[in-house]
Amino acid sequence: MKYLIFTYGCQMNYSDTERMQTYLEALGFKQAKAEKDADMIIFNTCSIRQKGEQRVIGKMIDMIKLRKKNKNLIVVITGCMVRKSSSRYSETRDKLFNRTKEIDIALRIEELPKLADLIKELNPKIKLPKIEEETLEDYFNITPNYTSKSQAFIPISTGCDKFCTYCIVPFSRGREKSRPMADILEECEEFVKQGGLEITLLGQTVDSYGLSTFDKQEGTFKHLPKGKTPFVSLLEQIDKLYSKGLRRLRFTSSHPKDISDDLIKAIGKLKTLMPYIHLPVQAGHNDTLKRMNRPYTCEKFLTIIKKLRKTVPGIAISTDFIVGFSGETEEEFQATYDLFKKEEFDFAYFAQYSERKGTFASKNLKDDVPKKVKRERWHLINELLKTIVAKKLEKFVGKTLDVLVEFEEKGLLHGHSEHSKEVQFKGKKSLIGQIVTVKILKADKWVLEGEKI
């Protein structure tokens, strides 16, 4: 049997897909090259925005066409859209079965080992091999089938406890739970042993690793040194893999509430930690932040930025903004615009607020900023982004950067520098997966262009 996975959303979802691939291949499935060749199609979903869910439901039209050619096709939806693992024949089923008739299985991603039993619910005649119990007992025990031999995205926690009013993650992914440090270190060490050069640690809020309500109740991290956060202890342990070949360590995404002084110091001193951080601010006015349930002020955020730039000169900082959130006045938007203009972040991801069903905001805050105004504000701040990015990139022209080559496209190699700047240059495909020194000749919109030295 053959499978095909469509992955939507953040790097966490892509990391989940890598674990799914390992599990499916252990069950005897092989990866299909196209939809028409697949016996099972899996949608690994993101539900941060309503449009993301609508996109997946819209794909069900294609499933109707495919079923005409393959009546035994199994359609699975997993990821953030699923609340209850179930098949179309289960006694209690996920609500997704009420939205479309084309799915056969709904699967919570952390319950991936249940997939085999759900397949058998559909067709008891299907023979699937038994997998060792120890592999099944924990989703994170499944060794991922890494897409890249040089880069790995390794999750260190699941869920979120922040409950931002606009966000569905605590409901779709559940409450925050940190992964045991020993398990993370084992996965990191094994990856480096296989020749891996760069690791990115993943979590909804990575810097709160070991600090959630669940973690404190379990007491898992009590043995760690006092005065140092569990996240920094983890970073220090992974940094020791430098002697075994690890060259780059990154993490995403951070939350301003949990950025500690010891984390800022760690970014400045650890050999493998790159001079780059993604730190979402979301808005530049305290009233907006309060309605968003972001537990910090703009002043606190700017203090963190100042400390980062002082401790790590030249550090690249990217951020997130939501434009047109419930109740956003012209004054509040202007404050957001001014904050971005003053701080000149290296990059920013802007989203026009759209009400997400099931969130606090959808139930208690009126989505009262007209769509036209949202678009206007988004275009204004996006134009500012283009100007700032061009200015930031221009500073690298004439310099040499170490670039980890990731892929080849249209005769050019593409990769990222230590500051997470995308670089393209001419070179042989054999350089993919290696760190190459490149002299930067030109800054072109969002990308740096150069030549291999």
Q: Domain locations in the chain?
A: 2-136, 139-394, 400-452
User: Cα angle vertex 252, ends 249, 255, to 5°?
Assistant: 130
Residue 129 pLDDT exceeds 50:
yes
The dihedrals phi and psi of 408, each to the nearest 5 degrees, come to -120, 135
Q: Which one, of 281, 271, 268, 350, lies nearest residue 315 by Cα?
A: 268
How far apart CA 426 and CA 403 sit, in angstroms, is 13
Give the confidence band of 431 by pLDDT, cuts at 50, 70, 90. very high
Amino acid at 428: K
**Of all residues in the chain, what percent carry a pLDDT higher than 70?**
98
The pLDDT value recorded for residue 138 is 65
The pLDDT value recorded for residue 450 is 97
Q: How many CA atoms lie within 13 A of 216 on its CB side?
A: 7
Contact 34, 70 (CB under 8 A): no
Residue 14 pLDDT exceeds 60:
yes
The pLDDT value recorded for residue 80 is 86
Residue 213 pLDDT exceeds 60:
yes
3-state DSSP call for residue 34?
Answer: coil
The pLDDT value recorded for residue 172 is 80
Average pLDDT over every residue of 216-240: 90
Residue 226 pLDDT exceeds 80:
no
The pLDDT value recorded for residue 110 is 84
How far apart CA 128 and CA 280 sit, in angstroms, is 44
Distance, CA of 75 to chain centre: 24
Higher per-residue pLDDT: 140 or 399: 399
Non-local CB neighbours of 327 within 8 Å, separated by 6+ positions:
287, 288, 291, 365, 366, 368, 369
Q: What is the dihedral sign for C-alpha 306, 311, 223, 240?
A: positive
The pLDDT value recorded for residue 78 is 94
What does the pLDDT look like over 196-212, one tens digit per residue? 999 999 999 999 999 99
The pLDDT value recorded for residue 135 is 47
Burial of residue 241, with CB atoms counted within 10 A of its CB: 0-12 exposed, 13-18 middle, 19 or more buried: buried
**Architecture in CATH for domain 139-394:** Alpha-Beta Horseshoe (3.80)
Give the confidence band of 134 by pLDDT, cuts at 50, 70, 90. very low
Dig out the tokens for 240 from the structure.
Answer: 């020791």
The pLDDT value recorded for residue 357 is 85
Bridge partner list, 74: 40
Burial of residue 360, with CB atoms counted within 10 A of its CB: 0-12 exposed, 13-18 middle, 19 or more buried: middle
Average pLDDT over every residue of 56-63: 91
pTM: 0.86
Helix (H) or strand (E) holding 215: helix 213-218
| Average pLDDT of the chain, as a whole number | 93
The pLDDT value recorded for residue 131 is 67
Does the domain formed by 2-136 have CATH 1.10.1240.10?
no
How far apart CA 49 and CA 436 sit, in angstroms, is 38
How far apart CA 285 and CA 329 sit, in angstroms, is 10
Give the confidence band of 142 by pLDDT, cuts at 50, 70, 90. confident
* Listed ranges 20-24, 107-111, 120-124, 414-418; the one with the highest mean pLDDT: 414-418
Q: How far is CA 231 from CA 15, 221, 254, 255, in A?
A: 20, 10, 11, 13
Non-local CB neighbours of 223 within 8 Å, separated by 6+ positions:
none
Dig out the tokens for 453 from the structure.
Answer: 């030295």
How far apart CA 400 and CA 391 sit, in angstroms, is 18
Contact 423, 417 (CB under 8 A): yes
Bridge partner list, 317: 277
The pLDDT value recorded for residue 136 is 43
The dihedrals phi and psi of 451, each to the nearest 5 degrees, come to -135, 145
Higher per-residue pLDDT: 114 or 344: 344
The pLDDT value recorded for residue 49 is 72
Residues counted in the chain: 453
Dig out the tokens for 424 from the structure.
Answer: 């393209």
Burial of residue 254, with CB atoms counted within 10 A of its CB: 0-12 exposed, 13-18 middle, 19 or more buried: buried
How far apart CA 67 and CA 285 sit, in angstroms, is 51
How far apart CA 145 and CA 296 sit, in angstroms, is 38
What does the pLDDT look like over 372-397, one tens digit per residue? 999 999 999 999 999 999 999 999 99
Mean pLDDT is lowest, of 10-19, 34-43, 274-283, 329-338, for 10-19
The pLDDT value recorded for residue 345 is 97
Helix (H) or strand (E) holding 57: helix 50-69
**Architecture in CATH for domain 400-452:** Beta Barrel (2.40)
The label of the residue with tokens 């100042």 reads 306
How far apart CA 214 and CA 298 sit, in angstroms, is 29
Bridge partner list, 6: 43
Residue 224 pLDDT exceeds 50:
yes
Q: Which one, of 259, 246, 262, 258, lies nearest residue 154 by Cα?
A: 246
The pLDDT value recorded for residue 344 is 96
